[in-house]
């Protein structure tokens, strides 16, 4: 009998990459590979990469180095690199790390099976990186990681070209999936037992703008809200510039769309926003938030912020600090500006020294943590509805769930809870990143 071949996938980066890994796993399974979590057990290791910041790239090169040792002890090991760094660096990857066998671009995910076969026949480096995507890549088998929550891409690529960002260069132009395909997939996921779906795109609010056939993002939300087989709908990421009244109204009137808005502001300074090519001002953003809060009063609000963008003076950084205090985000993902060669910001004057960036990041995080804690504390004593997701990572006797507003809640397991079910929990204590409570029967 042939020995079973095992594969593993190491994934970095955003949800879109996580989902691509599910489509890569499905393809490998279709040609007889079984999944293993253990790197040393794998016959095929695929690294799905991210290049949004230098720190991500460094980590990945570290991992690729590790694989060289692994290959020395197992010469038959196949090593593949895919994702955004593969798209960007292409055959440079073979030069830097000749122990790599396969390089697969972001537009070539669906080709994995044929490329693996090609490698098995030739045992030579195989590279497939298209500069541009086909309008829509063919469907491939998919193996989902979770069983409660599933990702559903609604559009690929980005046309925004924020001046710091590499994504438009490695993910290509915006391409929307047909609305019927999305609705069908969501319906099917519900039949398979998934309760929550997250609609994915780099800028979901531009859904449908690349064609006149599918309607816009609000139309899509409305259609997905009608799907009977699922209970919760989330989406990522929305660009503040393209968030409009129609979308806000649709969310307000929907049954299933979560009251959660992630709107990356990036900076609280108009000077920097302009240099970033974000296409909005702080005044616009403030008004947008006011509109959202009026329409959906219990909504939670999170954001992304970059510190140390070129030209960010001490004064302009203070504007960002003031702005986050004024808005009062539930939480913020904060990043050190990272120079990405090929992007306009990389060659802008007045780059900020690393030490200054770090100090600013710390100040920003301290300020935000205080705000997050204050907002979470307001929830103590209240009863919230969560979807039961499973045991807490650190403590098996506790369960973890998430509110529609995307707050993580932990409670002592009672034994009556079922994974995927909605449960009521009374909040006892609040921390910066999570809430703890007691199950209400």
User: Which residues of this chain interact with ligand F3S, rule CB under 6 A?
Assistant: 13-14, 16-17, 50-52, 83-84, 166-167, 170-171
DSSP-derived pairing of the beta strands 196-200 and 149-153: parallel
* Residues numbered 317-376 forming contacts with ligand SAH, rule: CB under 6 A: 335, 337-338, 340
Alpha helices in 256-353 (DSSP H): 270-276, 282-295, 314-327
Q: By CB under 6 A, is residue 161 in contact with ligand SF4? A: yes
Q: By CB under 6 A, is residue 306 in contact with ligand SAH? A: yes
Q: Which is nearer to ligand SAH, 204 or 423 (CB)?
A: 204
Is residue 48 within 8 A of residue 12, CB to CB? The reply is yes
Residue of 177, 195, 239, 407 that binds ligand SF4 (CB under 6 A): 239
How far is 235 from 85, CA to CA, in rounded Å?
A: 25
User: Which H or E element spans position 73?
Assistant: helix 54-73
Q: By CB under 6 A, is residue 334 in contact with ligand SF4? A: no
Residues ≥6 apart with Cβ < 8 Å to 417: 388, 399, 423, 439
Total Cβ atoms within 10 A of residue 304: 14
* DSSP secondary structure letter of residue 234: E
Q: By CB under 6 A, is residue 207 in contact with ligand SAH? A: no
Q: By CB under 6 A, is residue 53 in contact with ligand SAH? A: yes
Q: How far is the CB of 32 from ligand SAH (least distance, A)?
A: 35
Q: By CB under 6 A, is residue 202 in contact with ligand SAH? A: yes
How far is 82 from 19, CA to CA, in rounded Å?
A: 13
Total Cβ atoms within 10 A of residue 211: 12
**Residue 168 touches which member of ligand SAH, ligand SF4, ligand F3S, none, C-beta under 5-8 Å by kind:** ligand SF4
**Residue 335 touches which member of ligand SF4, ligand SAH, ligand F3S, none, C-beta under 5-8 Å by kind:** ligand SAH
Q: By CB under 6 A, is residue 234 in contact with ligand SAH? A: no
Residue of 43, 304, 359, 417 that binds ligand SAH (CB under 6 A): 304
Residue whose CB is nearest to ligand F3S in the complex, by number: 13
**Residue 195 touches which member of ligand SF4, ligand F3S, ligand SAH, none, C-beta under 5-8 Å by kind:** none
Is 18 in a helix, a strand, or coil?
Answer: helix
Termini Cα distance of the chain = 53
Considering only the stretches 69-77, 142-150, 157-165, 209-217, report the one whose residues sit in contact with ligand SF4 under the rule CB under 6 A.
157-165
Residue of 27, 142, 237, 269 that binds ligand SAH (CB under 6 A): 237
Q: How far is the CB of 161 from ligand SF4 (least distance, A)?
A: 6
Q: Which is nearer to ligand SAH, 344 or 391 (CB)?
A: 344
At residue 290, φ and ψ (nearest 5 deg) are -60, -40
Residue of 167, 182, 306, 399 that binds ligand SF4 (CB under 6 A): 167
Residues ≥6 apart with Cβ < 8 Å to 3: none
212 by Cβ neighbours in 10 Å (0-12 / 13-18 / 19+) ranks as exposed
At residue 41, φ and ψ (nearest 5 deg) are -95, -10
Considering only the stretches 62-70, 112-120, 153-161, 291-299, report the one whose residues sit in contact with ligand SF4 under the rule CB under 6 A.
153-161
Total Cβ atoms within 10 A of residue 401: 26
Q: Which is nearer to ligand F3S, 83 or 437 (CB)?
A: 83
Q: How far is the CB of 60 from ligand SF4 (least distance, A)?
A: 19
Tokens of 135: 């309008």
Angle, helix 314-327 to helix 282-295, in steps of 10 degrees = 10
Q: By CB under 6 A, is residue 172 in contact with ligand SF4? A: no
Tokens of 384: 């919230």
Is residue 288 within 8 A of residue 434, CB to CB? The reply is no
How many binding residues for ligand SAH (CB under 6 A)?
A: 17
Q: How far is the CB of 203 from ligand SF4 (least distance, A)?
A: 5
Q: By CB under 6 A, is residue 205 in contact with ligand SF4? A: no
* Residues numbered 161-200 forming contacts with ligand SAH, rule: CB under 6 A: 164-165, 167
What's the distance, CA 204 to chain centroid?
12
How many binding residues for ligand SF4 (CB under 6 A)?
A: 10
User: Which H or E element spans position 402?
Assistant: strand 398-403
* Binding-site ranges for ligand SAH (CB under 6 A): 52-53, 164-165, 167, 202-203, 237, 239, 264, 266, 304, 306, 335, 337-338, 340
* Binding-site ranges for ligand SF4 (CB under 6 A): 158, 160-162, 165, 167-168, 202-203, 239
């Amino acid at each position: 009998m042939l020995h079973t071949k095992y594969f593993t996938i190491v994934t970095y980066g955003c949800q879109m990459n996580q989902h691509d890994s599910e489509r890569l796993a499905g393809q490998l399974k279709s040609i007889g590979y079984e999944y293993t979590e253990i790197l040393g057990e794998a016959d095929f290791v695929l690294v799905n990469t991210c290049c949004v910041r230098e720190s991500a790239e460094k980590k990945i090169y570290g991992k690729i180095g590790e694989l060289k040792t692994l290959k020395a002890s197992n010469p038959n090991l196949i090593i593949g690199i895919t994702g955004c760094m593969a798209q960007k660096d292409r055959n440079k990857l073979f030069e830097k790390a000749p122990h790599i066998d396969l390089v697969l671009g972001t537009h070539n995910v669906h080709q994995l099976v044929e490329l693996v076969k090609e490698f098995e026949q030739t045992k030579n480096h195989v590279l497939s990186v298209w500069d541009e995507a086909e309008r829509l890549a063919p469907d491939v088998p998919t193996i989902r990681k979770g069983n409660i929550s599933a990702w559903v891409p609604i559009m690929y690529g980005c046309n925004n070209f924020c001046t710091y960002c590499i994504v438009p260069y490695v993910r290509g132009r915006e391409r929307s999936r047909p609305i019927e395909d999305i609705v069908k997939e969501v319906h099917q996921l519900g039949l398979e037992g998934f309760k929550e779906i997250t609609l994915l795109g780099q800028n979901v609010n531009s859904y449908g703008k690349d064609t006149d056939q599918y309607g816009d993002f609000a139309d899509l939300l409305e259609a997905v809200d009608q799907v009977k087989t699922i209970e919760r709908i989330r989406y990522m990421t929305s660009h503040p510039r393209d968030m409009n009244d129609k979308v806000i109204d649709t969310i307000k009137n929907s049954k299933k769309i979560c009251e959660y808005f992630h709107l990356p502001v990036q900076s609280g300074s108009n000077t920097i926003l302009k240099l970033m090519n974000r296409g909005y001002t702080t005044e616009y953003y403030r008004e947008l938030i006011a509109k959202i809060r009026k329409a959906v009063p219990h909504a939670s609000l999170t954001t992304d912020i970059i510190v140390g963008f070129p030209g960010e003076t001490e004064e302009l950084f203070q504007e960002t600090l003031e702005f986050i205090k004024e808005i009062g985000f539930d939480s913020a993902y904060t990043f050190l500006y990272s120079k990405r060669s090929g992007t306009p910001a990389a060659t802008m004057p007045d780059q900020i020294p690393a030490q200054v960036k770090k100090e600013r990041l710390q100040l920003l995080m301290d300020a935000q943590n205080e705000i997050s804690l204050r907002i979470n504390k307001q929830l103590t004593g209240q009863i919230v509805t969560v979807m039961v997701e499973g045991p807490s990572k650190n403590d098996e006797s506790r369960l973890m769930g998430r509110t529609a507003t995307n707050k993580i809640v932990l409670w002592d397991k009672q034994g009556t809870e079922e994974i995927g079910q909605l449960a009521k929990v009374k909040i006892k204590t609040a921390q910066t990143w999570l809430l703890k409570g007691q199950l209400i029967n």
